[in-house]
């Protein structure tokens, strides 16, 4: 695919308008639609997505849409408030805009705005021509809009659901157009509609049957016996109704009491199971919730160190320890939740290494899960590389790379089991008072036997750090952690984020950019300009080349962490890498080779 597919928009619409609701009677249609589609890109970074929509017939023309974020529906100041061109859409969003939830690709329900009212993560295989199916139903009586769609988990197709109660008459006119829209922006992908069916209960005004009241029966003389029977049945009906109401309330109270008792039992059982993990006097300990509330001044915003998808991290002072700590507060409703909380406590509590963040304790109460760590006064690595914190000298940077390598060596080879971290990135590398690197956040970690060295699981991690084979297979390995480690090394050397969407073509991905410079023999042009030339050239060469070695698209060519450390310490010679970045053999052919078979009259330049 070439540049002509950037900033493209397209639509497929029905040939006639649909009667959604009758403006005279107010009667609303039931409808059902089913479709299958493919979204494909031969790049690691892509966008923006596609949507099924119902919209005002005066939807903006394609030539007036200039950006990918509106998915071919709206543009400009209408993206977040499209009252001028009302629409309802089910979006399949593959690019993270500032108004999107964190976590990458997702399915969302949109009402006059590209900011979805409700979303659900969407696990995709966009680099493998995978086919996705979707079914959408609307019930006019209950106003329930339900969406079922397929995704891929652990390399298998699964079905996900979203439902939402909405009266479509509040958003759309009586007659609407319907169909599909898609768009690309700075990044691109191919959208292919494979099949589509649609049915509605209101096809035209003639199909709306007027409900007329039945004619009243002729007048007749009152019959006292009949009236008595009616009164008797009415009395019985009222009595039975009251009895059933009281019985229902009693059952409801019993259910609530059982839930409360069960919840207390589960919490007690959880406390006991957590206590069994740590022998008395060793490892992390349980803290009192009120003690943590006092330590953080009631989790005040002024004490907040950072915010993530899991919740917030707060600075606190514990009098018993006479020291500051970092307290991660995880909500039960968060993306991370109880499973990651338990994983982090059970995994990191067993690990002891100078380059791992130390877990001091834990606490949970009802919907709050809290983890207490040693406080890292110099924050995270990314805050120094990209934020306003202090500048990192070359000596400090190289020491951070060695420290992180030492942590990985311990996790992958030296501990009793192999620990696959699954989320190595610069924001998870903390710096102590001497700027020593400490790897943290083990909420996604998995333990495997050294002989096995991998685990198939739902894809987790952060875009830009995920190895291509992990993305396509769902199999987390030591090699996929090495890939993430390599990305961090390139960040340290270049001072650039893994993905910079505002960069020039060819420089969006730091991996592709640095590899291209390496092939031209100009790798020093990738050095962070903030260093102002103050660095050891031989060390820089080793850091850059080892970084590229670690992110080799074919995992079988990546080094072990022991080999990495040997090269960084000048104990082994540098590897010779290809001048051009290799293409993984397990990925499908490039779009350029296949694009001729993908045709649509709805692609166009705006």
**DSSP secondary structure code for residue 589 in this structure:** P
Q: Where is the domain boundary, 310, 341, 374?
A: 374
Give me the pLDDT at residue 205, please. 44
Whether 343 and 304 map to the same domain: the answer is yes
Rounded mean pLDDT of the chain? 79
Residue 589 belongs to a domain? no
What is the tens place of the pLDDT at every residue in 348-373? 778 889 999 988 888 887 667 888 99
Whether 553 and 487 map to the same domain: the answer is yes
Residue 278 belongs to a domain? no
Residue 427 belongs to a domain? yes
Provide the 10 A C-beta neighbour count for residue 111: 20
Whether 16 and 119 map to the same domain: the answer is yes
Give me the pLDDT at residue 460, please. 63
What is the tens place of the pLDDT at every residue in 12-36? 888 788 899 988 888 999 999 999 9
Pairing of strands 106-111, 87-93: antiparallel
DSSP per residue, 542-578? HHHHHHHHHT-SSGGGSPPHHHHHHHHTTSSPPP---
Question: Total structural domains in the chain?
Answer: 3
CATH classification of the domain holding 444: 1.10.510.10
The residues annotated with a catalytic role in the active site are 423
Residue 392 contacts residue 435 (beta carbons within 8 Å): yes
Whether 329 and 453 map to the same domain: the answer is no
- Is 27 known to sit in a ligand binding site? no
Give me the pLDDT at residue 282, please. 54
Whether 24 and 128 map to the same domain: the answer is yes
Beta strands in 478-549, from DSSP E residues, in sequence order:
none
What is the tens place of the pLDDT at every residue in 289-301? 999 999 999 889 8
Whether 405 and 291 map to the same domain: the answer is no
Does an H or E element contain 157, and which? strand 156-165
Whether 110 and 36 map to the same domain: the answer is yes
Give the torsion sign (CA, 533, 538, 540, 545).
positive
Q: Where is the domain boundary, 322, 353, 374?
A: 374
Whether 204 and 327 map to the same domain: the answer is no
* R_g (Cα) of the chain, nearest Å: 30
Whether 417 and 359 map to the same domain: the answer is no
Residue 16 belongs to a domain? yes
Whether 306 and 360 map to the same domain: the answer is yes
Distance linking the first and last C-alpha atoms of the chain: 18
Whether 359 and 411 map to the same domain: the answer is no
Which residues fall within 8 angstroms of residue 391, CB to CB, at 6 or more apart?
384, 530
Q: Where is the domain boundary, 347, 374, 401?
A: 374
Residue 458 banded pLDDT, cuts 50, 70, 90 = low
Give the torsion sign (CA, 261, 262, 265, 266).
negative
Q: Measured between alpha carbons, how far is 482 from 118 in angstroms, rounded to an integer?
A: 35
Average pLDDT rounded to a whole number, residues 420-427? 91
Tokens representing 237 are 């009906």
Whether 400 and 338 map to the same domain: the answer is no
Give me the pLDDT at residue 111, please. 93
Q: Which domain holds residue 299?
A: 285-374
């Amino acid at each position: 695919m070439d540049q002509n597919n950037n900033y493209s928009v397209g639509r497929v619409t029905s040939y006639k308008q649909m009667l959604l609701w009758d403006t005279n009677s107010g009667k609303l249609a039931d409808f059902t639609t089913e479709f299958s589609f493919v979204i494909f890109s031969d790049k690691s970074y892509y966008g923006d997505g596609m949507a099924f929509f119902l919209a005002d017939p005066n939807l903006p023309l394609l030539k007036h849409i200039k950006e990918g974020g509106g998915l071919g529906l709206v543009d400009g100041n209408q993206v977040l408030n499209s009252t001028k061109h009302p629409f309802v859409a089910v979006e399949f969003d593959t690019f993270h805009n500032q108004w999107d939830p964190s976590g990458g690709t997702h399915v969302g329900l949109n009402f006059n705005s590209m900011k979805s009212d409700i979303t659900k993560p969407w696990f995709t295989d966009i680099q493998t021509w995978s086919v996705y199916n979707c079914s959408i139903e609307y019930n006019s009586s209950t106003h329930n809009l339900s969406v079922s769609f397929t995704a891929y988990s652990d390399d298998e197709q699964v079905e996900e659901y979203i439902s939402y109660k909405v009266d479509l008459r509040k958003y759309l006119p009586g007659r609407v157009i319907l169909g599909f829209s898609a768009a690309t922006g700075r990044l691109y992908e191919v959208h292919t509609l494979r099949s589509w069916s649609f049915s509605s209960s209101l096809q035209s005004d003639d199909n709306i049957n007027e409900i007329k009241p039945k004619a009243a029966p002729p007048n007749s003389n009152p019959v006292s016996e009949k009236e008595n029977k009616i009164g008797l049945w009415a009395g019985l009906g009222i009595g039975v109704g009251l009895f059933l109401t009281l019985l229902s309330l009693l059952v409801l109270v019993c259910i609530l009491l059982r839930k409360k008792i069960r919840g207390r039992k589960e919490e007690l059982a959880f406390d006991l199971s957590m206590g069994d993990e740590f022998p008395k006097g060793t490892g992390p300990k349980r803290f009192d919730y009120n003690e943590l509330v006092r330590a953080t001044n009631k989790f005040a915003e002024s004490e907040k160190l950072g915010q993530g998808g899991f919740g917030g991290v707060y600075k606190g002072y514990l009098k018993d320890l006479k020291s500051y700590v970092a307290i991660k507060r995880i909500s039960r409703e968060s993306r991370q939740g109880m499973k990651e909380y338990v994983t982090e406590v059970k995994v990191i509590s067993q690990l002891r290494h100078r380059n791992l963040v130390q877990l001091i304790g834990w606490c949970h109460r009802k919907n709050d899960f809290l983890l207490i760590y040693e406080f890292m006064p110099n924050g995270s690595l990314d805050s120094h590389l990209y934020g306003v914190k202090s500048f990192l000298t070359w000596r400090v940077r190289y020491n951070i790379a060695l420290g992180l390598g030492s942590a990985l060596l311990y996790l992958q080879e030296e501990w009793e089991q192999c620990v696959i971290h699954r989320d190595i990135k610069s924001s998870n590398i903390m710096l102590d008072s001497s700027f020593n690197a400490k790897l943290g956040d083990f909420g996604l970690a998995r333990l495997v036997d050294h002989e096995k060295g991998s685990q198939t699981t739902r894809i987790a991690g952060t875009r830009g750090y995920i190895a291509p084979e992990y993305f396509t297979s769902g199999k987390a390995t030591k090699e996929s952690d090495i890939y993430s480690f390599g990305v961090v090394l390139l960040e340290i050397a270049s001072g650039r984020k893994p993905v910079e969407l505002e960069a020039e073509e060819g420089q969006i991905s730091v991996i592709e950019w640095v590899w291209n410079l390496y092939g031209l023999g100009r790798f020093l042009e990738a050095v962070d300009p903030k260093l102002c030339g103050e660095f050891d050239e031989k060390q820089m060469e080793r850091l850059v080349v080892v970084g590229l070695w670690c992110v080799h698209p074919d995992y079988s060519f990546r080094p072990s962490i022991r080999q990495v450390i040997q090269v960084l310490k000048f104990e082994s010679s540098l590897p010779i890498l290809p001048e051009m970045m290799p293409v993984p053999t397990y990925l499908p052919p490039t779009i350029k080779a296949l694009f001729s078979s993908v045709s649509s009259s709805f692609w166009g330049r705006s």
